[in-house]
């Protein structure tokens, strides 16, 4: 029996993909805001299904967050006006428990097997006092059920992932990972788990967290966005750590 693999995968809007970071508070409550959709995306138009997802969809969650903290979305959080009305690349999708990718990353993810883990993290903007500009934190997890080529996904499941909501593919190696929907194994975290800090000129996983996990495949816990997701050296040890964090898994995006 093959040993379980676990990959640390970055998702969510940031200064490079969308020029903004979603907010987080001192209790770990956050809003999941995806990156922008690719400029050349063309969406399916089939009656009875909604394929295109726009940033307007996340405004209610952002406004509720602002109300809780007496903040203004534009004045205090500086939400980019130019994103309103624009399509977003909703991926990972915690409602349907899918994640898609392409290119080198897609090739890597195509090699995961049932039972392997995708562990998602984001760079979030704190609305509370914090020692760094961003809070790098875990926000969700998938236990892999299967991996399928995006081009092979049947029409009745096109709506489940950003890579199949479009009529056009950017490369032949686009894949969709479907997570296990049985039991409490996959979903968005009800609160995020901060793991990062600014160290040695970059954001990295804190040393105490690295030690608790048993290490990552990248040097010195480097987690700035790149094309190759790091792997956990000891996935079982990571899972033992995660079970102690008091999180619940939620089958929705916000």
Quick one: pLDDT at residue 106?
74
Quick one: pLDDT at residue 152?
93
Q: Give which of 9, 245, 23 is closest to 133, Cα–Cα.
A: 23
- Give start and end residues of each alpha helix (H) in 102-248: 103-109, 162-165, 207-213, 235-243
Residue 162 has pLDDT above 70, yes or no: yes
Q: Give which of 98, 145, 90, 103 is closest to 229, Cα–Cα.
A: 103
Q: What percent of the chain clears pLDDT 90, i.e. is strictly above it? A: 86
What is the SS3 assignment for 85? coil
Residue 98: which H helix or E strand, with range? strand 98-101
- Interval 108-115 mean pLDDT: 88
- Structure tokens that stand for 249 in this block: 């898994």
Residue 103 has pLDDT above 90, yes or no: no
Quick one: pLDDT at residue 182?
84
In the block, which residue shows the tokens 């690295």? 210
- Between 151 and 108, where is the model more confident? 151
For residue 212, CA distances in Å to 200, 209, 217, 234 come to: 20, 5, 14, 10
Residue 178 has pLDDT above 60, yes or no: yes
- Interval 135-163 mean pLDDT: 96
Residue 96 has pLDDT above 70, yes or no: yes
Quick one: pLDDT at residue 168?
85
Residue 169 has pLDDT above 90, yes or no: no
What is the CB-side half-sphere exposure of residue 77 using CA atoms within 13 A? 28
The domain locations on the chain are: 6-191
- Interval 12-32 mean pLDDT: 97
- Interval 103-124 mean pLDDT: 89
By DSSP bridging, strand 117-126 and strand 23-24 are parallel
Residue 1 has pLDDT above 60, yes or no: no
- Asked if residues 32 and 191 have their Cβ atoms less than 8 Å apart, the reply is no
Report the predicted TM-score, pTM, of the whole model to 2 decimal places. 0.96
172: exposed, middle or buried (C-beta count within 10 Å: 0-12, 13-18, 19+)? exposed
What does the alpha-carbon distance between residue 11 and residue 119 come to, in Å, rounded to a whole number? Answer: 10
- Between 39 and 195, where is the model more confident? 195
Please, what is the average pLDDT of the chain?
94
10 Å Cβ neighbour count for 148?
18
- Interval 27-39 mean pLDDT: 96
Quick one: pLDDT at residue 183?
79
Task: Kindly report which listed range (34-48, 171-185, 192-206, 207-221) carries the lowest average pLDDT score.
Answer: 171-185
pLDDT band at 170 (very low <50, low <70, confident <90, very high): low
Cα Rg of the chain (Å, integer) = 18
Q: What percent of the chain clears pLDDT 70, i.e. is strictly above it? A: 98
Q: Return phi, psi of residue 197, to 5°.
A: -160, 160
């Amino acid at each position: 029996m093959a040993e379980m693999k676990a990959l640390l995968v970055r998702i969510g809007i940031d200064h490079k993909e969308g020029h903004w970071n979603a907010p987080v508070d001192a209790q770990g409550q956050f809003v999941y805001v995806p990156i922008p959709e690719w400029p050349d995306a063309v969406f399916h138009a089939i009656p009875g299904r909604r394929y295109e997802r726009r940033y307007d969809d996340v405004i209610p969650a952002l406004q509720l967050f602002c109300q809780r903290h007496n903040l203004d979305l534009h004045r205090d959080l500086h939400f980019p006006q130019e994103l309103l009305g624009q399509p977003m690349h909703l991926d990972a999708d915690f409602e349907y428990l899918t994640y898609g990718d392409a290119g080198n990353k897609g090739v890597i993810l195509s090699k995961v097997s049932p039972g392997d883990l995708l562990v998602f993290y984001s760079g979030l903007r704190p609305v509370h006092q914090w020692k760094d500009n961003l809070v790098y934190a875990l926000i969700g997890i998938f236990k892999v059920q299967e991996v399928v080529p995006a081009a092979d996904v049947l029409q009745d499941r096109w709506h489940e992932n950003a890579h199949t909501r479009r009529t056009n593919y950017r490369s032949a190696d686009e894949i969709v990972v479907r997570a296990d929907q049985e039991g409490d194994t996959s979903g968005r975290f009800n609160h995020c788990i901060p793991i990062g800090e600014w160290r040695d000129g970059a954001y990295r996983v804190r040393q105490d967290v690295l030690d608790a996990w048993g290490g990552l495949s990248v040097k010195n816990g480097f987690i700035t966005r790149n094309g190759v997701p790091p792997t956990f050296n000891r996935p079982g040890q990571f899972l033992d750590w995660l079970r102690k964090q008091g999180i619940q898994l939620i089958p929705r995006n916000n």
